A and B are shown apart, each in its own frame.
Chain A
Protein backbone atom coordinates (compact mmCIF):
# COMPACT_ATOMS: atom_id res chain seq x y z
CA UNK A 1 0.00 0.00 0.00
CA UNK A 2 2.94 2.28 0.79
CA UNK A 3 4.09 2.11 -2.82
CA UNK A 4 0.62 2.91 -4.14
CA UNK A 5 0.57 6.03 -1.96
CA UNK A 6 3.99 6.97 -3.27
CA UNK A 7 2.72 6.64 -6.83
CA UNK A 8 -0.20 8.92 -6.04
CA UNK A 9 2.09 11.48 -4.43
CA UNK A 10 4.44 11.24 -7.40
CA UNK A 11 1.63 11.74 -9.92
CA UNK A 12 0.37 14.75 -7.96
CA UNK A 13 3.85 16.25 -7.92
CA UNK A 14 4.16 15.55 -11.66
CA UNK A 15 0.85 17.37 -12.23
CA UNK A 16 2.03 20.35 -10.17
CA UNK A 17 5.46 20.43 -11.81
CA UNK A 18 7.12 19.84 -8.46
CA UNK A 19 9.44 16.96 -9.29
CA UNK A 20 13.00 16.84 -7.97
CA UNK A 21 15.82 17.42 -10.42
CA UNK A 22 16.95 13.76 -10.03
CA UNK A 23 13.49 12.60 -11.12
CA UNK A 24 13.44 15.02 -14.03
CA UNK A 25 16.83 13.76 -15.19
CA UNK A 26 15.57 10.19 -14.98
CA UNK A 27 12.53 11.10 -17.08
CA UNK A 28 14.86 12.79 -19.56
CA UNK A 29 17.07 9.70 -19.75
CA UNK A 30 14.07 7.41 -20.26
CA UNK A 31 12.93 9.72 -23.09
CA UNK A 32 16.37 9.42 -24.69
CA UNK A 33 16.08 5.63 -24.40
CA UNK A 34 12.68 5.66 -26.10
CA UNK A 35 14.14 7.85 -28.85
CA UNK A 36 17.05 5.46 -29.31
CA UNK A 37 14.74 2.45 -29.43
CA UNK A 38 12.70 4.25 -32.08
CA UNK A 39 15.89 4.84 -34.05
CA UNK A 40 17.01 1.22 -33.67
CA UNK A 41 13.76 -0.30 -34.88
CA UNK A 42 12.20 2.36 -37.09
CA UNK A 43 15.26 3.83 -38.76
CA UNK A 44 17.69 0.90 -38.61
CA UNK A 45 15.33 -2.01 -38.02
CA UNK A 46 14.91 -3.60 -41.42
CA UNK A 47 17.50 -4.52 -44.03
CA UNK A 48 15.01 -6.17 -46.39
CA UNK A 49 14.44 -3.58 -49.05
CA UNK A 50 11.13 -4.71 -50.53
CA UNK A 51 9.07 -2.34 -48.41
CA UNK A 52 11.39 0.56 -49.24
CA UNK A 53 11.92 1.30 -45.59
CA UNK A 54 14.47 0.61 -42.90
CA UNK A 55 11.62 0.33 -40.40
CA UNK A 56 10.85 -3.03 -38.79
CA UNK A 57 7.37 -1.66 -38.02
CA UNK A 58 6.67 -0.77 -41.65
CA UNK A 59 7.82 -4.25 -42.66
CA UNK A 60 5.54 -5.86 -40.08
CA UNK A 61 2.48 -3.75 -40.92
CA UNK A 62 3.04 -4.48 -44.62
CA UNK A 63 2.87 -8.22 -43.77
CA UNK A 64 -0.39 -7.71 -41.81
CA UNK A 65 -1.95 -5.93 -44.76
CA UNK A 66 -0.72 -8.45 -47.33
CA UNK A 67 -3.78 -10.14 -48.77
CA UNK A 68 -1.84 -12.37 -51.14
CA UNK A 69 -0.81 -15.85 -50.04
CA UNK A 70 -0.47 -16.07 -46.25
CA UNK A 71 -0.37 -12.44 -45.15
CA UNK A 72 -4.07 -12.26 -44.43
CA UNK A 73 -3.61 -14.82 -41.67
CA UNK A 74 -1.99 -12.07 -39.60
CA UNK A 75 -4.58 -9.33 -39.98
CA UNK A 76 -5.30 -9.68 -36.24
CA UNK A 77 -1.85 -8.13 -35.67
CA UNK A 78 -3.35 -4.63 -35.59
CA UNK A 79 -5.17 -5.41 -32.30
CA UNK A 80 -2.39 -7.12 -30.39
CA UNK A 81 -0.47 -4.03 -29.11
CA UNK A 82 -3.73 -2.56 -27.82
CA UNK A 83 -4.55 -5.77 -25.94
CA UNK A 84 -1.07 -5.69 -24.36
CA UNK A 85 -1.56 -2.07 -23.32
CA UNK A 86 -5.00 -2.89 -21.90
CA UNK A 87 -3.50 -5.71 -19.82
CA UNK A 88 -0.87 -3.30 -18.50
CA UNK A 89 -3.53 -0.74 -17.62
CA UNK A 90 -5.69 -3.36 -15.92
CA UNK A 91 -2.80 -4.48 -13.75
CA UNK A 92 -1.27 -1.05 -13.17
CA UNK A 93 -1.88 -0.98 -9.41
CA UNK A 94 -0.32 -4.39 -8.94
CA UNK A 95 2.65 -3.40 -11.08
CA UNK A 96 3.26 -0.12 -9.25
CA UNK A 97 2.87 -1.67 -5.83
CA UNK A 98 5.73 -4.16 -5.99
CA UNK A 99 9.17 -3.54 -4.55
CA UNK A 100 11.76 -2.43 -7.13
CA UNK A 101 15.52 -2.70 -7.42
CA UNK A 102 18.14 -2.78 -10.16
CA UNK A 103 18.56 -6.37 -11.35
CA UNK A 104 21.69 -7.25 -13.33
CA UNK A 105 20.00 -10.31 -14.83
CA UNK A 106 17.84 -7.86 -16.77
CA UNK A 107 20.98 -6.35 -18.27
CA UNK A 108 21.94 -9.78 -19.63
CA UNK A 109 18.50 -9.99 -21.30
CA UNK A 110 18.97 -6.48 -22.79
CA UNK A 111 22.43 -7.30 -24.18
CA UNK A 112 21.11 -10.59 -25.63
CA UNK A 113 18.14 -8.80 -27.23
CA UNK A 114 20.33 -6.09 -28.77
CA UNK A 115 22.67 -8.74 -30.19
CA UNK A 116 19.63 -10.55 -31.58
CA UNK A 117 18.53 -7.34 -33.32
CA UNK A 118 21.94 -6.87 -34.86
CA UNK A 119 21.89 -10.50 -35.99
CA UNK A 120 18.41 -10.04 -37.47
CA UNK A 121 19.57 -7.00 -39.45
CA UNK A 122 22.73 -8.73 -40.64
CA UNK A 123 20.79 -11.86 -41.65
CA UNK A 124 17.93 -9.84 -43.20
CA UNK A 125 15.54 -11.56 -40.80
CA UNK A 126 13.27 -8.79 -39.58
CA UNK A 127 11.26 -11.31 -37.57
CA UNK A 128 14.32 -11.87 -35.40
CA UNK A 129 14.64 -8.11 -34.89
CA UNK A 130 10.99 -7.89 -33.88
CA UNK A 131 11.48 -10.74 -31.40
CA UNK A 132 14.37 -8.77 -29.94
CA UNK A 133 12.07 -5.75 -29.54
CA UNK A 134 9.62 -7.91 -27.58
CA UNK A 135 12.52 -9.09 -25.42
CA UNK A 136 13.69 -5.49 -24.89
CA UNK A 137 10.24 -4.32 -23.78
CA UNK A 138 10.56 -6.93 -21.05
CA UNK A 139 14.31 -6.79 -20.38
CA UNK A 140 14.63 -3.02 -19.85
CA UNK A 141 12.06 -2.84 -16.98
CA UNK A 142 13.57 -6.08 -15.64
CA UNK A 143 16.97 -4.36 -15.40
CA UNK A 144 15.72 -1.05 -14.04
CA UNK A 145 13.06 -2.33 -11.61
CA UNK A 146 13.81 -5.96 -10.85
CA UNK A 147 12.27 -9.39 -11.10
CA UNK A 148 8.93 -8.63 -9.44
CA UNK A 149 8.09 -6.05 -12.10
CA UNK A 150 9.45 -8.37 -14.82
CA UNK A 151 7.24 -11.20 -13.56
CA UNK A 152 4.17 -9.01 -13.94
CA UNK A 153 5.25 -8.03 -17.43
CA UNK A 154 5.80 -11.56 -18.78
CA UNK A 155 2.30 -11.89 -20.20
CA UNK A 156 1.72 -8.42 -21.73
CA UNK A 157 5.19 -8.47 -23.31
CA UNK A 158 5.13 -12.05 -24.58
CA UNK A 159 1.63 -11.46 -25.97
CA UNK A 160 3.26 -9.11 -28.49
CA UNK A 161 4.71 -12.19 -30.20
CA UNK A 162 1.28 -12.62 -31.84
CA UNK A 163 2.11 -9.47 -33.83
CA UNK A 164 5.08 -11.05 -35.54
CA UNK A 165 4.18 -12.67 -38.87
CA UNK A 166 5.58 -16.20 -38.72
CA UNK A 167 4.87 -17.14 -42.30
CA UNK A 168 6.60 -20.48 -41.96
CA UNK A 169 3.49 -21.63 -40.07
CA UNK A 170 1.90 -22.02 -43.51
CA UNK A 171 3.49 -25.48 -43.61
CA UNK A 172 0.66 -26.68 -41.37
CA UNK A 173 -2.02 -25.25 -43.69
CA UNK A 174 -2.12 -28.22 -46.05
CA UNK A 175 -2.18 -30.95 -43.37
CA UNK A 176 -4.95 -28.94 -41.68
CA UNK A 177 -6.92 -28.83 -44.93
CA UNK A 178 -6.59 -32.56 -45.48
CA UNK A 179 -7.52 -33.30 -41.86
CA UNK A 180 -10.56 -31.01 -41.91
CA UNK A 181 -11.71 -32.39 -45.28
CA UNK A 182 -11.44 -36.02 -44.11
CA UNK A 183 -13.36 -35.41 -40.90
CA UNK A 184 -16.01 -33.33 -42.70
CA UNK A 185 -16.56 -36.10 -45.29
CA UNK A 186 -16.89 -38.68 -42.50
CA UNK A 187 -19.44 -36.51 -40.70
CA UNK A 188 -21.44 -35.83 -43.86
CA UNK A 189 -21.60 -39.56 -44.60
CA UNK A 190 -22.72 -40.08 -41.00
CA UNK A 191 -25.54 -37.60 -41.57
CA UNK A 192 -26.60 -39.53 -44.66
CA UNK A 193 -25.17 -37.16 -47.28
CA UNK A 194 -23.22 -39.02 -49.91
CA UNK A 195 -19.89 -37.21 -49.76
CA UNK A 196 -16.65 -38.20 -51.48
CA UNK A 197 -13.23 -36.69 -50.91
CA UNK A 198 -11.00 -35.85 -53.86
CA UNK A 199 -7.77 -34.35 -52.53
CA UNK A 200 -8.95 -31.29 -50.63
CA UNK A 201 -12.25 -31.12 -52.50
CA UNK A 202 -15.53 -32.57 -51.27
CA UNK A 203 -17.98 -33.91 -53.83
CA UNK A 204 -21.62 -34.01 -52.72
CA UNK A 205 -24.78 -34.62 -54.79
CA UNK A 206 -25.67 -30.90 -54.92
CA UNK A 207 -22.07 -30.00 -55.88
CA UNK A 208 -20.76 -32.75 -58.17
CA UNK A 209 -17.94 -30.46 -59.39
CA UNK A 210 -16.67 -30.30 -55.83
CA UNK A 211 -16.34 -27.85 -53.01
CA UNK A 212 -12.67 -27.07 -52.58
CA UNK A 213 -11.32 -26.54 -49.09
CA UNK A 214 -8.82 -23.89 -50.21
CA UNK A 215 -5.89 -22.49 -48.23
CA UNK A 216 -7.83 -19.59 -46.65
CA UNK A 217 -10.32 -22.25 -45.47
CA UNK A 218 -7.58 -24.42 -44.01
CA UNK A 219 -8.34 -23.18 -40.52
CA UNK A 220 -4.91 -21.61 -40.04
CA UNK A 221 -6.35 -18.11 -39.96
CA UNK A 222 -8.97 -18.98 -37.32
CA UNK A 223 -6.34 -21.00 -35.46
CA UNK A 224 -4.02 -17.99 -35.17
CA UNK A 225 -6.84 -15.65 -34.20
CA UNK A 226 -8.25 -18.14 -31.65
CA UNK A 227 -4.87 -18.73 -29.97
CA UNK A 228 -4.37 -14.96 -29.65
CA UNK A 229 -7.83 -14.50 -28.20
CA UNK A 230 -7.70 -17.50 -25.88
CA UNK A 231 -4.29 -16.44 -24.54
CA UNK A 232 -5.69 -13.19 -23.13
CA UNK A 233 -8.93 -14.80 -21.97
CA UNK A 234 -7.09 -17.58 -20.15
CA UNK A 235 -4.74 -15.04 -18.57
CA UNK A 236 -7.61 -13.09 -17.03
CA UNK A 237 -10.00 -15.90 -16.10
CA UNK A 238 -7.90 -18.83 -14.94
CA UNK A 239 -6.43 -18.90 -11.48
CA UNK A 240 -3.56 -21.32 -11.85
CA UNK A 241 -0.71 -21.46 -14.32
CA UNK A 242 -1.68 -24.98 -15.47
CA UNK A 243 -5.32 -24.03 -16.08
CA UNK A 244 -4.23 -20.99 -18.09
CA UNK A 245 -2.15 -23.27 -20.33
CA UNK A 246 -4.89 -25.93 -20.60
CA UNK A 247 -7.39 -23.31 -21.75
CA UNK A 248 -4.85 -21.73 -24.10
CA UNK A 249 -4.02 -25.08 -25.72
CA UNK A 250 -7.73 -25.88 -26.03
CA UNK A 251 -7.93 -23.07 -28.60
CA UNK A 252 -6.24 -25.37 -31.15
CA UNK A 253 -8.94 -28.11 -31.20
CA UNK A 254 -11.64 -25.43 -30.83
CA UNK A 255 -10.46 -23.62 -33.96
CA UNK A 256 -10.16 -26.89 -35.89
CA UNK A 257 -13.62 -28.06 -34.76
CA UNK A 258 -15.06 -24.64 -35.73
CA UNK A 259 -13.51 -24.97 -39.17
CA UNK A 260 -14.85 -28.49 -39.69
CA UNK A 261 -18.31 -27.33 -38.57
CA UNK A 262 -18.12 -24.57 -41.16
CA UNK A 263 -17.28 -26.99 -43.97
CA UNK A 264 -20.03 -29.40 -42.90
CA UNK A 265 -22.68 -26.67 -42.63
CA UNK A 266 -21.74 -25.27 -46.05
CA UNK A 267 -22.49 -28.75 -47.41
CA UNK A 268 -25.80 -28.81 -45.50
CA UNK A 269 -26.83 -25.43 -46.93
CA UNK A 270 -25.85 -26.60 -50.40
CA UNK A 271 -27.99 -29.73 -50.04
CA UNK A 272 -30.93 -27.70 -48.71
CA UNK A 273 -30.80 -24.51 -50.77
CA UNK A 274 -28.39 -25.24 -53.59
CA UNK A 275 -24.71 -24.50 -54.15
CA UNK A 276 -25.09 -20.81 -54.97
CA UNK A 277 -26.23 -19.56 -51.53
CA UNK A 278 -23.92 -22.11 -49.85
CA UNK A 279 -20.77 -20.93 -51.62
CA UNK A 280 -21.92 -17.30 -51.70
CA UNK A 281 -23.67 -15.72 -48.75
CA UNK A 282 -23.26 -18.60 -46.28
CA UNK A 283 -19.60 -19.21 -47.14
CA UNK A 284 -18.77 -15.52 -46.73
CA UNK A 285 -20.51 -15.00 -43.40
CA UNK A 286 -20.50 -18.40 -41.69
CA UNK A 287 -16.92 -17.82 -40.55
CA UNK A 288 -18.14 -15.14 -38.15
CA UNK A 289 -20.92 -17.34 -36.77
CA UNK A 290 -18.62 -20.28 -36.17
CA UNK A 291 -15.91 -18.09 -34.73
CA UNK A 292 -18.52 -16.81 -32.28
CA UNK A 293 -19.45 -20.44 -31.53
CA UNK A 294 -15.78 -21.28 -30.91
CA UNK A 295 -15.54 -18.30 -28.53
CA UNK A 296 -18.65 -19.52 -26.69
CA UNK A 297 -17.08 -22.96 -26.38
CA UNK A 298 -13.92 -21.31 -25.04
CA UNK A 299 -15.92 -19.42 -22.41
CA UNK A 300 -17.81 -22.59 -21.38
CA UNK A 301 -14.60 -24.60 -21.15
CA UNK A 302 -12.97 -21.78 -19.15
CA UNK A 303 -15.96 -21.82 -16.78
CA UNK A 304 -15.71 -25.60 -16.38
CA UNK A 305 -12.02 -25.32 -15.54
CA UNK A 306 -12.82 -22.77 -12.85
CA UNK A 307 -15.51 -24.87 -11.20
CA UNK A 308 -14.53 -26.30 -7.84
CA UNK A 309 -15.25 -29.93 -8.64
CA UNK A 310 -14.00 -31.23 -5.28
CA UNK A 311 -16.37 -29.01 -3.32
CA UNK A 312 -19.24 -29.80 -5.63
CA UNK A 313 -18.61 -33.50 -5.11
CA UNK A 314 -18.57 -33.03 -1.34
CA UNK A 315 -21.89 -31.14 -1.47
CA UNK A 316 -23.38 -33.80 -3.69
CA UNK A 317 -22.40 -36.49 -1.19
CA UNK A 318 -23.78 -34.42 1.67
CA UNK A 319 -27.17 -33.99 0.02
CA UNK A 320 -27.42 -37.69 -0.59
Chain B
Protein backbone atom coordinates (compact mmCIF):
# COMPACT_ATOMS: atom_id res chain seq x y z
CA UNK B 1 0.00 0.00 0.00
CA UNK B 2 1.31 3.44 -0.91
CA UNK B 3 1.11 5.63 2.17
CA UNK B 4 2.32 8.60 0.13
CA UNK B 5 -0.82 8.58 -1.96
CA UNK B 6 -2.84 8.96 1.24
CA UNK B 7 -0.78 11.92 2.46
CA UNK B 8 -3.26 14.60 1.25
CA UNK B 9 -6.13 12.88 3.10
CA UNK B 10 -4.06 12.49 6.25
CA UNK B 11 -2.92 16.12 6.01
CA UNK B 12 -6.54 17.29 5.84
CA UNK B 13 -7.55 15.08 8.76
CA UNK B 14 -4.63 16.48 10.77
CA UNK B 15 -5.69 20.04 10.01
CA UNK B 16 -9.33 19.35 10.89
CA UNK B 17 -8.31 17.74 14.20
CA UNK B 18 -6.07 20.71 15.01
CA UNK B 19 -8.88 23.14 14.26
CA UNK B 20 -11.29 21.11 16.40
CA UNK B 21 -8.82 21.31 19.29
CA UNK B 22 -8.35 25.04 18.74
CA UNK B 23 -12.13 25.53 18.74
CA UNK B 24 -12.57 23.43 21.85
CA UNK B 25 -9.85 25.08 23.91
CA UNK B 26 -8.98 28.55 22.60
CA UNK B 27 -12.15 30.40 21.60
CA UNK B 28 -13.44 31.08 25.09
CA UNK B 29 -12.85 34.59 26.32
CA UNK B 30 -12.70 36.12 29.78
CA UNK B 31 -15.58 38.40 30.59
CA UNK B 32 -14.29 41.68 31.93
CA UNK B 33 -16.94 42.58 34.46
CA UNK B 34 -16.22 46.29 34.61
CA UNK B 35 -18.60 48.44 32.59
CA UNK B 36 -17.46 51.69 31.02
CA UNK B 37 -20.37 53.63 32.50
CA UNK B 38 -22.34 53.79 35.74
CA UNK B 39 -25.31 51.45 35.61
CA UNK B 40 -27.60 53.88 37.37
CA UNK B 41 -29.51 56.90 36.25
CA UNK B 42 -29.89 59.99 38.43
CA UNK B 43 -33.30 60.92 39.83
CA UNK B 44 -32.73 64.58 38.99
CA UNK B 45 -30.88 66.15 36.07
CA UNK B 46 -31.12 69.90 36.33
CA UNK B 47 -34.87 70.58 35.98
CA UNK B 48 -35.62 67.07 34.75
CA UNK B 49 -37.06 64.54 37.21
CA UNK B 50 -36.31 60.92 36.50
CA UNK B 51 -38.39 57.88 37.28
CA UNK B 52 -36.97 54.40 36.77
CA UNK B 53 -39.06 51.84 34.94
CA UNK B 54 -39.98 48.28 35.86
CA UNK B 55 -41.72 45.62 33.80
CA UNK B 56 -43.95 42.69 34.65
CA UNK B 57 -43.19 39.51 32.73
CA UNK B 58 -46.78 38.35 32.71
CA UNK B 59 -47.19 37.41 29.05
CA UNK B 60 -50.96 37.81 29.09
CA UNK B 61 -50.93 41.18 30.77
CA UNK B 62 -47.52 42.86 30.35
CA UNK B 63 -47.25 46.11 32.23
CA UNK B 64 -44.78 48.92 32.66
CA UNK B 65 -44.51 50.72 36.01
CA UNK B 66 -42.71 53.81 37.17
CA UNK B 67 -40.83 53.09 40.40
CA UNK B 68 -42.51 56.09 42.07
CA UNK B 69 -45.85 54.29 41.60
CA UNK B 70 -44.63 51.21 43.46
CA UNK B 71 -44.67 50.53 47.15
CA UNK B 72 -41.87 48.00 46.75
CA UNK B 73 -39.65 48.81 43.76
CA UNK B 74 -39.37 45.27 42.42
CA UNK B 75 -42.77 43.77 43.23
CA UNK B 76 -45.81 43.89 40.97
CA UNK B 77 -48.58 45.49 43.09
CA UNK B 78 -51.23 43.49 41.22
CA UNK B 79 -49.76 40.02 41.23
CA UNK B 80 -47.09 40.21 43.92
CA UNK B 81 -44.60 38.78 41.42
CA UNK B 82 -41.10 40.07 40.75
CA UNK B 83 -40.68 43.03 38.41
CA UNK B 84 -37.78 43.36 36.01
CA UNK B 85 -35.75 46.18 34.52
CA UNK B 86 -36.44 44.98 30.97
CA UNK B 87 -39.59 44.01 29.09
CA UNK B 88 -40.41 40.35 28.55
CA UNK B 89 -39.66 40.65 24.82
CA UNK B 90 -36.19 41.97 25.64
CA UNK B 91 -35.65 39.26 28.23
CA UNK B 92 -36.60 36.60 25.69
CA UNK B 93 -34.59 38.00 22.82
CA UNK B 94 -31.36 38.87 24.62
CA UNK B 95 -28.85 36.81 26.61
CA UNK B 96 -29.82 36.66 30.26
CA UNK B 97 -26.69 38.35 31.54
CA UNK B 98 -27.67 41.56 29.73
CA UNK B 99 -28.38 44.37 32.21
CA UNK B 100 -30.77 47.28 31.82
CA UNK B 101 -31.50 50.63 33.40
CA UNK B 102 -34.38 52.69 32.04
CA UNK B 103 -35.84 55.98 33.18
CA UNK B 104 -38.37 58.49 32.01
CA UNK B 105 -37.46 62.13 32.59
CA UNK B 106 -40.08 64.85 32.72
CA UNK B 107 -39.76 68.56 33.21
CA UNK B 108 -42.09 71.42 33.99
CA UNK B 109 -42.93 71.91 30.30
CA UNK B 110 -44.39 68.38 30.19
CA UNK B 111 -41.54 67.21 28.01
CA UNK B 112 -40.70 63.52 28.20
CA UNK B 113 -37.30 62.02 27.55
CA UNK B 114 -36.72 58.30 27.75
CA UNK B 115 -33.21 57.14 28.67
CA UNK B 116 -31.97 53.59 28.62
CA UNK B 117 -28.64 51.92 29.22
CA UNK B 118 -28.17 48.36 28.05
CA UNK B 119 -25.05 46.65 29.34
CA UNK B 120 -23.89 43.65 27.38
CA UNK B 121 -22.94 40.38 29.00
CA UNK B 122 -20.50 37.89 27.59
CA UNK B 123 -22.45 37.64 24.35
CA UNK B 124 -21.76 39.85 21.38
CA UNK B 125 -25.47 39.99 20.59
CA UNK B 126 -26.56 41.51 23.91
CA UNK B 127 -26.50 44.74 21.96
CA UNK B 128 -27.61 45.16 18.40
CA UNK B 129 -28.26 48.01 16.05
CA UNK B 130 -31.32 50.06 17.04
CA UNK B 131 -32.33 49.96 13.38
CA UNK B 132 -33.32 46.34 13.94
CA UNK B 133 -35.38 46.57 17.12
CA UNK B 134 -36.98 49.93 16.32
CA UNK B 135 -38.28 48.59 13.04
CA UNK B 136 -39.32 45.35 14.76
CA UNK B 137 -41.38 47.49 17.16
CA UNK B 138 -43.30 49.06 14.28
CA UNK B 139 -41.30 52.25 13.79
CA UNK B 140 -40.22 53.58 10.44
CA UNK B 141 -36.79 55.15 10.34
CA UNK B 142 -37.07 58.17 8.10
CA UNK B 143 -33.63 59.66 8.56
CA UNK B 144 -30.26 59.25 10.23
CA UNK B 145 -27.85 61.95 11.26
CA UNK B 146 -24.59 62.09 13.21
CA UNK B 147 -24.47 64.92 15.69
CA UNK B 148 -21.76 66.32 17.91
CA UNK B 149 -22.59 67.36 21.44
CA UNK B 150 -20.15 69.81 23.00
CA UNK B 151 -18.87 68.69 26.41
CA UNK B 152 -16.69 70.70 28.76
CA UNK B 153 -13.03 69.72 28.88
CA UNK B 154 -13.05 67.15 26.12
CA UNK B 155 -13.79 66.62 22.48
CA UNK B 156 -17.48 66.64 21.49
CA UNK B 157 -19.49 63.45 22.03
CA UNK B 158 -20.62 61.93 18.75
CA UNK B 159 -24.10 60.42 18.68
CA UNK B 160 -26.19 58.94 15.90
CA UNK B 161 -29.75 60.24 15.79
CA UNK B 162 -32.55 58.38 14.05
CA UNK B 163 -35.75 60.16 13.10
CA UNK B 164 -38.65 57.76 13.53
CA UNK B 165 -42.34 57.64 12.70
CA UNK B 166 -44.93 55.25 14.05
CA UNK B 167 -48.55 55.10 12.95
CA UNK B 168 -51.08 54.11 15.56
CA UNK B 169 -54.78 54.26 16.27
CA UNK B 170 -55.83 56.69 18.99
CA UNK B 171 -58.62 56.11 21.52
CA UNK B 172 -61.19 57.24 18.93
CA UNK B 173 -59.92 54.73 16.42
CA UNK B 174 -58.30 57.37 14.18
CA UNK B 175 -54.90 56.83 12.62
CA UNK B 176 -52.22 59.13 13.97
CA UNK B 177 -48.49 59.42 13.58
CA UNK B 178 -45.97 59.65 16.40
CA UNK B 179 -42.85 61.51 15.29
CA UNK B 180 -39.88 60.58 17.40
CA UNK B 181 -36.11 60.80 17.62
CA UNK B 182 -33.69 58.22 18.95
CA UNK B 183 -30.13 59.23 19.80
CA UNK B 184 -27.58 56.60 20.77
CA UNK B 185 -23.95 55.84 21.29
CA UNK B 186 -21.86 52.95 22.62
CA UNK B 187 -19.34 52.98 25.45
CA UNK B 188 -16.68 50.34 26.01
CA UNK B 189 -13.53 50.30 28.06
CA UNK B 190 -12.09 53.77 27.34
CA UNK B 191 -13.81 53.71 23.98
CA UNK B 192 -16.84 55.62 22.80
CA UNK B 193 -18.47 55.48 19.39
CA UNK B 194 -21.87 55.93 17.79
CA UNK B 195 -20.88 53.51 15.04
CA UNK B 196 -22.19 49.96 15.25
CA UNK B 197 -19.47 48.76 12.91
CA UNK B 198 -16.67 50.44 14.87
CA UNK B 199 -18.01 48.84 18.05
CA UNK B 200 -18.09 45.47 16.28
CA UNK B 201 -14.49 45.96 15.22
CA UNK B 202 -13.29 46.70 18.76
CA UNK B 203 -15.33 43.82 20.14
CA UNK B 204 -13.71 41.45 17.67
CA UNK B 205 -10.26 42.93 18.29
CA UNK B 206 -10.51 42.50 22.05
CA UNK B 207 -11.85 38.96 21.70
CA UNK B 208 -9.24 37.80 19.21
CA UNK B 209 -6.16 39.69 20.35
CA UNK B 210 -6.73 39.92 24.12
CA UNK B 211 -9.23 37.04 24.65
CA UNK B 212 -11.40 39.45 26.61
CA UNK B 213 -15.07 40.33 26.15
CA UNK B 214 -15.63 43.83 27.47
CA UNK B 215 -19.06 44.83 28.64
CA UNK B 216 -20.14 47.49 26.18
CA UNK B 217 -22.93 49.83 27.17
CA UNK B 218 -25.48 51.09 24.71
CA UNK B 219 -26.95 54.42 25.77
CA UNK B 220 -30.11 55.72 24.13
CA UNK B 221 -31.99 58.97 24.61
CA UNK B 222 -35.31 59.26 22.85
CA UNK B 223 -38.26 61.59 22.72
CA UNK B 224 -40.86 63.20 20.54
CA UNK B 225 -40.50 65.54 17.58
CA UNK B 226 -43.24 68.14 17.35
CA UNK B 227 -44.04 67.23 13.74
CA UNK B 228 -42.56 65.79 10.56
CA UNK B 229 -40.39 68.82 9.78
CA UNK B 230 -39.57 70.05 13.26
CA UNK B 231 -35.89 70.70 14.01
CA UNK B 232 -36.33 71.93 17.59
CA UNK B 233 -35.73 68.51 19.07
CA UNK B 234 -32.06 68.66 18.07
CA UNK B 235 -31.10 71.43 20.47
CA UNK B 236 -33.33 69.99 23.24
CA UNK B 237 -31.71 66.59 22.82
CA UNK B 238 -28.21 68.09 22.82
CA UNK B 239 -28.93 70.07 25.99
CA UNK B 240 -30.29 67.00 27.74
CA UNK B 241 -27.39 64.74 26.79
CA UNK B 242 -24.90 67.41 27.83
CA UNK B 243 -26.49 67.43 31.29
CA UNK B 244 -26.87 63.65 31.51
CA UNK B 245 -23.36 62.75 30.39
CA UNK B 246 -21.41 63.61 33.58
CA UNK B 247 -23.68 61.31 35.62
CA UNK B 248 -22.75 58.34 33.43
CA UNK B 249 -19.01 58.67 33.82
CA UNK B 250 -16.88 56.48 35.98
CA UNK B 251 -13.28 57.46 36.55
CA UNK B 252 -11.54 55.18 34.11
CA UNK B 253 -13.81 56.16 31.22
CA UNK B 254 -13.12 59.87 31.52
CA UNK B 255 -11.76 61.49 28.42
CA UNK B 256 -10.50 64.66 30.03
CA UNK B 257 -7.91 66.36 27.97
CA UNK B 258 -6.96 68.70 30.79
Contact = CB atoms under 8 A, between A and B. Distances in A.
Contacts of B132: 69-70, 167, 170
Contacts of A68: 136
A21 B141 CA distance: 65
Contact of A215 (B22, B24, B135, B208): B135
Contact of A199 (B2, B29, B228): B228
A2 interface: no
Contacts of A40: 16, 19-20, 23
B51 to A, nearest CB: 29
A204 interface: no
B19 A114 contact: yes
Interface residues of A, number: 48
A222 B207 CA distance: 36
If over half of A's interface residues share one DSSP class (helix, strand or loop), that class is named, otherwise mixed; here it is helix
A268 interface: no
Residue among A21, A25, A50 facing the most chain B CB atoms (10 A cut-off): A50
Contact of A25 (B6, B19, B136, B208): B6
B1 interface: yes
Given A21-B1, A33-B12, A199-B228, A124 B207 contact: yes
Interface stretch (B109-117, B123-131, B230-238): B123-131
Interface string B118-158: 00000111000001110110001110000000000000000
Given A39-B20, A44-B23, A122-B29, A110 B12 contact: yes
A114 B142 contact: no
B5 A22 contact: yes
Contact of B124 (A48, A70, A167): A48
B16 A118 contact: no
Contact of A22 (B2, B8, B12, B133): B2
B167 A212 contact: yes
Interface string B4-17: 01101111110111
A69 B125 contact: no
A236 B207 CA distance: 43
Contact of A124 (B5, B23, B124, B133): B124
Contact of B125 (A124, A174, A199): A124
B33 to A, nearest CB: 18
Nearest to A208: B175
A200 interface: yes
Nearest to B167: A212
A29 B13 contact: yes
A50 B12 contact: no
Contact of A144 (B9, B15, B125, B140): B9
A176 to B, nearest CB: 13
B27 interface: yes
Contact of A32 (B1, B13, B95): B13
Nearest to A199: B142
Interface string B84-125: 000000000111000000000000000000000000000111
Nearest to B203: A123
Given A44-B24, A69-B135, A209-B175, A30 B9 contact: yes
B136 A69 contact: yes
Contact of A125 (B18, B136, B175, B204): B204
B202 to A, nearest CB: 11
11 contacts: A26-B9, A29-B6, A33-B9, A36-B20, A40-B19, A69-B132, A124-B125, A144-B12, A167-B132, A174-B141, A199-B140
Given A110-B12, A123-B204, A123-B208, 20 more contacts: A21-B1, A25-B6, A29-B13, A36-B17, A40-B19, A44-B20, A47-B27, A48-B125, A50-B94, A50-B95, A50-B125, A69-B133, A107-B8, A118-B19, A122-B29, A122-B208, A124-B123, A125-B204, A144-B9, A170-B131
Closest 7 CB pairs of A and B: A36-B16, A124-B124, A29-B9, A44-B23, A69-B136, A123-B204, A121-B27
